[in-house]
Amino acid sequence: MARPVTIFTAQYGDLPSEELFKIMSEIGYEGLELACGACVDESDPLKGHFDVHKALDDPGYCDAKKAQLAKYGLKCWAVSNHCVGQGVLDNIDERNLTVIPPYLHGDKTVESVRALCAQEMMDTARAAAKFGVKVVNGFTGSSIWQYLYSFPPVPQSWIDDGFKLLKERWTPILDVFQEVGVKFALEVHPTEIAFDIHSAQLALEALDFHPAFGFNFDPSHLLWQGVDPVKFIRRFPDRIFHVHMKDVALQLDGENGILGSHIPFGDYRRGWEFRSLGHGHVKFDEIIRALNDINYDGPLSVEWEDQRMDRIFGATEAFEFVKKCDFPPSDIVFDAQFAKDN
């Protein structure tokens, strides 16, 4: 099982695609998980990583983007549109508007932003299909994340309503995904409607197990919460549509905690922080074994996030790490040779 090693381009969103593709190809990556909207330049359509509107409106864009990738020996198995997906279900505030593209702000009312983000996610599915990609990674947002700690007391009906709202707002989007033959992979993540195993199960149930809805598995978002990433894989074997390879380090010292202490990433006092692969506490050997057990054969996509490491150094080291830690399953029973008939 030779899984391709790719890298998510969002953390390199300031680099034009030509420059970025060359760098990642020289490192050895086999493909890229292209971030929608990164480095978009109207005067040069190919400068951006992946442009949803150009893919839909320009008849030659998708072929030109594939040719640009092929020039560097690269492929694309997934595109990602996290920030726009966040706007569909979130309680929109100024923070959202800093990451949602300005053309989706509309008249800046909550209703306008949500409606435009929902339409953009439908268009992302259509653009991905036209590009020949079968998975869109992203976020859903959450209208109830603010109620994580139940004080003042939160009525259960408010939580139930949050999952009902997920169904109401995301089912029409997922129907488009289903129509065009593309999967939506939610990156299970704090601030999303699903952030651990139980909330992921609730999301599936709320959406009536919609066939287009599944998960972008990322162990780094689970481990610091105390959730076993391997158990997540084994709980949802048929819903793992994509995999992020990212590490996280727990730095609990009796003074901090897992809630972050209002201390920014990169500060050694934090209770946890994301790390480049191999520099944290994720047990990737067990993750690879679990992925083998569920016959996952999609890409292993590096998401590099390490505030205290150079990102090109990190991308290079991460590629080597994934190549070393990934291995195919055995096709024999190791002790069967002792049972041969004499």
Average pLDDT per consecutive 10 residues, the chain (342 residues; last block may be shorter): 92 97 98 95 92 97 98 98 98 94 94 97 98 98 96 97 98 98 98 98 98 98 98 98 98 97 96 98 98 98 96 98 95 74 56
What's the confidence (pLDDT) of residue 106? 93
Helices 311-325, 284-293: inter-axial angle, 10-degree rounding: 50
Amino acid making up residue 102: P
Residue position matching structure tokens 């959450």: 142
Residue position matching structure tokens 């949802």: 236
What's the confidence (pLDDT) of residue 332? 81
Q: Give the number of other Cβ atoms within 10 Å of residue 112's Cβ.
A: 14
What's the confidence (pLDDT) of residue 340? 63
What's the confidence (pLDDT) of residue 43? 87
- As a whole number of angstroms, the distance between CA 29 and CA 316 comes to 9
Tokens of 242: 């994509």
Q: Give the number of other Cβ atoms within 10 Å of residue 152's Cβ.
A: 6
Give residues with Cβ within 8 angstroms of 275, minimum separation 6: 247, 248, 249, 306
What's the confidence (pLDDT) of residue 1? 55
Strand partners, 245: 302
Burial class (CB in 10 A: 0-12, 13-18, 19+), 117: buried
Burial class (CB in 10 A: 0-12, 13-18, 19+), 101: middle
What's the confidence (pLDDT) of residue 341? 61
Q: CA angle at residue 102 from 97 to 108, to 5 degrees?
A: 60
What's the confidence (pLDDT) of residue 273? 97
- Among residues 13, 82, 85, the alpha carbon closest in space to that of 244 is found at 82
Give residues with Cβ within 8 angstroms of 297, minimum separation 6: 1, 3
In SS3 terms, the chain reads as: CCCCEEEECHHHCCCCHHHHHHHHHHHCCCEEEEEECCCCCCCCCCCCCECHHHHHHCCCHHHHHHHHHHHCCCEEEEEECHHHHHHHHCCCCHHHHHHCCHHHCCCCCHHHHHHHHHHHHHHHHHHHHHHCCCEEEECCCCCCHHHCCCCCCCCHHHHHHHHHHHHHHHHHHHHHHHHHCCEEEEECCCCCCCCCHHHHHHHHHHCCCCCCEEEEECCHHHHCCCCCHHHHHHHCCCCEEEEEECEEEECCCCCCCCCCCCCCCCCCCCCEEEECCCCCCCCHHHHHHHHHHCCCCCCEEECCCCCCCCHHHHHHHHHHHHHHHCCCCCCCCCCHHHHCCC
Domain boundaries, the chain: 5-339
CATH number of 5-339: 3.20.20.150
pTM for the full predicted model: 0.96
